[in-house]
Chain A
Amino acid sequence: MFRILRKEELAPSIKLIDVHAPMVARKARPGQFVVVRVREEGERIPLTIADWKPNSGIVTIVFQEVGVTSLKLGELEEGDQLQDLLGPLGQPTHIDKFGTVVCVPGGVGIAPLFPIARALQEQGNMVITCMGARSQNLLFWVDRMRSVSDEVLISTDDGSFGFHGFTTDLLKQVISRGTKINMVFTAGPAIMMKKVAEVTALAGIPTIASLNAMMVDGTGMCGVCRVMVDGKTRFTCVDGPDFDAHKVDFDHLLSRLAVYKAEEKAALDLYLKRRGVK
């Protein structure tokens, strides 16, 4: 069992938990994830590792409450235990001295990109972050991203904070001012990563996307996370989660993410009904 040591609400429906998982904290690298099970009857869901502290055995997870499992995870309080936490999983992000890199996180994708940006800056890269959310109240970790970036640009879809528009607009701004960009890293909603890839493909900038496919075991067994990359089937859990964004079939990813929509909706309705009764 894995105890929750600290819990913080970063934004409405976006929560952070520090979990005691010393073995995972010792091995975690930027870009990796964990698979979590909240309770005995629970499903296994992948969540990105937002930070870790090897000395105190802490793994930080940030998640958005979107379905039954993440809502149940959000109900747990400090001192409660997670049934299971497996990791770190997936290939770590390839960190190198690229030169100038742009990090493009959207929504809850800010969390996984934070340690990547930090590692990139530590390697001596010039890090420009183009971060965004739907609205100001959903923006989090602006200060943390500033602490690991040389420059931070911010957008909101509704214009409530920063630039009124999307992260892709910020990215285009950076490109249009003539900065030589060596590499782009993106994490967030699949549709946003698809748009980012379109922008950088036009500009000829190599781009890595951290994919958010559905998973069950997370260790290469079930294949539910398979994605099409350069026309080939790859497993996000063991071959990824990072892939060359220009070769990812994002429409296929989007379609697979929606496979259990009806079941998820039914389960959510039942959960909310039961919770209401309570």
Chain B
Amino acid sequence: MSPVEFKRIPVREQSPQERVKNFQEVALGYNEEEAVAEAKRCLQCKNPPCRSGCPVNIDIPKFIKHIAEREFMEAIRELKRWNNLPAICGRVCPQERQCEQPCVMGKRGDPINIGKLERFAADWELEHGVEIPSLPEPVGKKVAVVGAGPAGLTVAGNLARAGIQVTLFEALHKEGGVLVYGIPEFRLPKKIVAAEADYVKRLGVEVKLDVLVGRTITIDDLFGEGYEAVFLGTGAGLPLLLNIPGENLNGVFSANEYLIRSNLMKAYLFPEFDTPTKRGKKVAVIGAGDVSMDCARTALRLGAEKSMIIYRRSFEEMPARREEYHHAAEEGVEFHWLTAPVRILEDSGNVAGLECVRMQLGEPDASGRRKPIPIDGSNFEIEADIVVIAIGTTPNPLVTMTTPGLKMSPHGTLVVDKKTGKTTRPGVFAGGDVISGGATVISAMGEGKIAVENILKYLEAKW
């Protein structure tokens, strides 16, 4: 037995100087030798704590053992028993606070790089040809899944693997939801999303794009067409705004608009692609979540000389993953902590900058984080020609508005029983950001899995 290796095998990345000039993926991932070496660090715990940290309960030591033994096909088969979208999760899951956080190796050294091993196995399969598992006999039941984001793709894939006939409805012109409109190419290449969506389609799921449920067809219509259950994975697509003066000036973007233009519509390739965007010189992003980091880093790639994060609390309270912060800081994003915008400054209809106020932290608030309090008379100005508001989103109310019997919480989220994914209307289930208000890809998938189990029970009871 070789001695325990406390240090992780480093992940190769594009250098910050190079990557700010392109939209290609930052982290290059492990090659076979690196993956095997990292996998061999795993202690193969009898009662693996990593597993309990995974919202979809992947048998982590098992897939890692396969990699350590160079059984890459077996590794991906094991992963796909639990997760239909491993290439995506390997890239965007916050592993440091899920599976990797309780890793025993982390007590003395670096936890195993579970995320990058998952990505390695998934990429290996995409390169060598994707295997479609054998499917059970159709059970003769139809289910409609609304929204082709992480929750919807998971539910659609898992139902198909249980022999259900699934139609997946998506309002946009591509599958992926937030994976294609929100998360940038440099963090999650769109060909990876397309490949994993393709896998779900090859499981027998029929995808109907350009269908806005609530407008093009209603939930009642779906039941009328013979669907026996409906899963709503409609996400949290409605941007929150600040409600400060100047918010509707030209040059003020919601994070959604800024990212949709660049990611979904590929505005960084304008005019080869028809959608334009604004290439600001000084870009101020309000908020410090993962989406804010995505905006600030996109701004640099669009040629900004200065890209700033403006956040009313301090580094400790920042909701972004540390890895995202680290990447943004490496690329030269400036961080203005304890700073809150009070007004967007105008120059003949366009953004000229931000008037901000300095904040100090008081007692913890309802969120458990210390509440930011403005310091009187500390107002100052920051020059900017683009302002991006990245302070969160809420669910789009359209489906709730057009479906009798669905209850919405005061926060705009859909009311569900968390243990079953059941909404207040029989036969309608939900999961993902539409019930959480905005969380992670993997938690959406975890909620999707719970809903699948209960959709199957619901259908069975009706058999």
Interface residues of A (CB under 8 A from B): 23-24, 27, 37, 41-44, 68-69, 72, 83-89, 216-217, 219-224, 226, 228, 233, 238, 252, 255-256, 259-260, 263-264, 266-267, 270-271
Contacts and interface: CB of A to CB of B under 8 A. Distances in A.
A216 B257 contact: yes
A69 B274 contact: yes
A97 B216 CA distance: 27
Interface string B22-53: 00000000000000000000000000000000
Given A84-B173, A222-B254, A89 B215 contact: yes
A86 B171 contact: yes
A86 B257 contact: no
Contact of B216 (A87, A221, A226, A228): A87
Interface residues on B, range: 35 or more
A188 B403 CA distance: 33
Given A43-B275, A266-B271, A221 B215 contact: no
Contact of B250 (A69, A259, A271): A259
Interface stretch (B8-16, B206-214, B442-450): B206-214
Nearest to A84: B173
A91 B270 CA distance: 32
Contacts, number: 110
Nearest to A269: B271
Nearest to A254: B349
A166 to B, nearest CB: 26
A216 B270 contact: no
Nearest to A72: B274
Contact of B276 (A24, A41, A263): A263
Contacts of A252: 248
Interface in B201-235: 209-212, 215-217
Contacts of A44: 173, 265, 275
B307 interface: no
B212 A233 contact: no
9 contacts: A43-B265, A72-B274, A86-B210, A221-B237, A221-B239, A256-B248, A260-B276, A264-B276, A267-B271
B273 A41 contact: yes
B297 interface: no
B237 A43 contact: no
Contact of A219 (B171, B254, B269): B171
Nearest to B251: A259
Contact of B398 (A27, A69, A83, A219): A219
The 10 closest A-B pairs by CB, nearest first: A263-B276, A222-B257, A43-B275, A43-B274, A223-B254, A221-B237, A267-B271, A84-B173, A41-B273, A86-B210
Contact of A267 (B217, B248, B274): B274
B331 interface: no
Contacts of B4: none
Contacts of A86: 171, 173, 210-212, 216
Contacts of A224: 257
Contact of A216 (B260, B266, B271, B272): B260
B331 to A, nearest CB: 25
A226 B248 CA distance: 7
Contacts of A228: 248
Given A87-B216, A252-B248, A223 B171 contact: no
Nearest to A221: B237
B215 A27 contact: yes
Given A85-B210, A221-B260, A238-B396, 6 more contacts: A27-B216, A41-B273, A43-B273, A219-B237, A221-B181, A221-B239
Contacts of B253: 223
B148 to A, nearest CB: 14
Nearest to B393: A221
Contacts of A220: 237-238, 396, 398
B172 to A, nearest CB: 7
A27 B265 contact: no
A87 B275 CA distance: 20
Describe A's contact surface by its main secondary structure.
Answer: mixed
A24 B208 CA distance: 13
B290 interface: no
B274 A23 contact: no
A230 to B, nearest CB: 14
B261 A216 contact: yes
Interface in B171-217: 171-173, 181, 209-212, 215-217
Contacts of B210: 84-86
Contacts of B212: 86-87, 89, 219
Nearest to B389: A223
A254 to B, nearest CB: 10
Given A87-B216, A222-B257, A41 B274 contact: yes
B271 A270 contact: yes
B174 to A, nearest CB: 10
A23 B211 contact: yes
B84 interface: no
Given A41-B273, A220-B398, A222-B257, A256 B250 contact: yes
Contacts of A37: 173
Contacts of B275: 43-44, 216
Given A220-B237, A220-B398, A23 B217 contact: yes
Interface in B53-99: none
Contacts of A264: 276
A223 B241 contact: yes
B247 interface: yes
Contacts of A259: 250-251, 278
A83 B210 CA distance: 10
Given A83-B173, A84-B173, A221-B256, A255 B250 contact: yes
Contacts of B243: 233
Nearest to A224: B257
A131 to B, nearest CB: 29
B216 A23 contact: yes
A249 B273 CA distance: 32
A68 B247 CA distance: 29
A85 B212 CA distance: 11
B216 A88 contact: yes
Nearest to B171: A219
Given A43-B265, A219-B212, A264-B276, A238 B256 contact: no
A192 to B, nearest CB: 21
A88 B215 CA distance: 6
A24 B217 CA distance: 8
A185 B247 CA distance: 29
A23 B222 CA distance: 12
